[in-house]
Amino acid sequence: MKLLVFGHSGQVATELRALAGRGLTIKALGRDAADLSHPAACAAQIAATDTDAVINAAAYTAVDRAEEDEAVAMTVNGATPTAMAQAAAVRGLPFVHLSTDYVFAGTGTLPHTPTDRTAPQNVYGRSKLAGEAGILAAGGQSLILRTSWVFSAHGSNFVKTMLRLSETRHALSVVDDQIGGPTPASDIAKTLIVLAQALISGQGGGVYHYAGTPVVSWKCFARETFARTRRTVEVRGIATKDFPTPAKRPLNSRLDCASLQADFGITQPDWKAGLSRVITDLETSA
């Protein structure tokens, strides 16, 4: 199987590249080859490619900066994935796109299902929802996978931030009223491969959810990170309202992943097992 992947050094793209081999060829495009701020250039890569399917694992992910950089965020997360999906549809290529729980309002306590009403509360969420709408309207064979709280040994993420802060602090205040499922990037990458293969084989697309289990607060996620790295750090819980950020964060990031299991046999990953793997990778590379 040959895959064209948009993204190269991001968390999920890095994990995708690591899966290449044994019948799987991955051509991962970084910014030098595919600048996501230029939709037509990205579409041209698909028009000229020799591949079996396309995966978009790249995005504008600076949630707070997007509040002041809306035009760029809307292009990268909205117009460009739309152009990609249109180009893939013309070629008859399956297109798999990674999205986010931020397309929801993030209220309530029940897990969001793929068919729940969307109501993003910040620019990042609106830009990702615009991409989803464009992809679904493109008319090709596409699948959108929403996920949450991605972490890995690569790039910038919560786990690495907590470990960095613990180098100089013995106590940290971490939000305790945002609840979600941390999701290992390595598991997301494997799932994207399975979904691409399923689409190539003729299975239908649509919108699905994939997130780690069990759900947890950021505070508890931090405590687990320090426990597994044997670091003595006091983690105090605070409310979101006491930690203001430019972009409003969802309190409820729970995702209902039942349809992904029913249609593709893919179960939710155990984020604690994923955390152990990430910590091992970080300690090995240190």
Q: Residue 277: its pLDDT value, please? A: 97
Q: For the segment 27-60, what is each residue's pLDDT rounded down to a tens digit?
A: 999 999 999 999 999 999 999 999 999 999 999 9
What integer is the mean pLDDT of 83-110? 98
Whether pLDDT at 7 is above 90 = yes
Mean pLDDT along residues 73-101: 98
Catalytic residues: 124
Q: Show the tokens assigned to 129.
A: 């929802």
Instruction: Convert the pLDDT of each residue in 116-125 to its tens digit.
Output: 999 999 999 9
Alpha helices in the chain (DSSP H): 11-18, 39-48, 70-74, 80-91, 123-137, 158-166, 185-200, 218-228, 258-264, 271-285
3-class secondary structure per residue, 23-67: CEEEEEECCCCCCCCCHHHHHHHHHHCCCCEEEECCCCCCCCHHH
Sort 77 into a burial class: Cβ within 10 Å, 0-12 / 13-18 / 19+. buried
pLDDT band with cut points at 50, 70 and 90 for residue 255: very high
C-alpha torsion sign, points 236, 237, 238, 243: positive
The per-residue pLDDT of the chain, averaged, comes to 97
> What is the C-alpha to C-alpha distance for residues 257 and 26, in angstroms, rounded to an integer?
27
> 3-class SS at 77?
helix
DSSP-assigned beta bridge partners for residue 53:
3
Domain boundaries, the chain: 2-218+241-285
Give the residue from 192, 75, 76 showing the smallest Cα distance to 143: 192
Neighbours of 71 (CB within 10 A): 11
How far is residue 17's CA from residue 155's CA, in Å, rounded to a whole number?
14
Strands lying side by side in the sheet with 142-147: 25-29, 2-6, 53-56, 95-100, 142-147, 206-209
| pLDDT tens, residue by residue, 131-183 | 999 999 999 999 999 999 999 999 999 999 999 999 999 999 999 999 999 99
Asked if residue 273 has pLDDT above 90, the reply is: yes
Asked whether residue 22 carries a pLDDT value surpassing 90, the answer given is no
| Third-level CATH fold of 2-218+241-285 | Rossmann fold (3.40.50)
Query: How buried is 68 (Cβ within 10 angstroms: 0-12 exposed, 13-18 middle, 19+ buried)?
Result: exposed
Half-sphere exposure of 101 (CA within 13 A, CB side): 28
List pLDDT tens digits, range 197-209.
Answer: 999 999 999 999 9
Cβ atoms of 135 and 87 within 8 Å: the answer is no
Indicate whether 130 pLDDT > 80: yes
- pTM of the shown model: 0.97
285 confidence band (pLDDT: 50, 70, 90)? confident
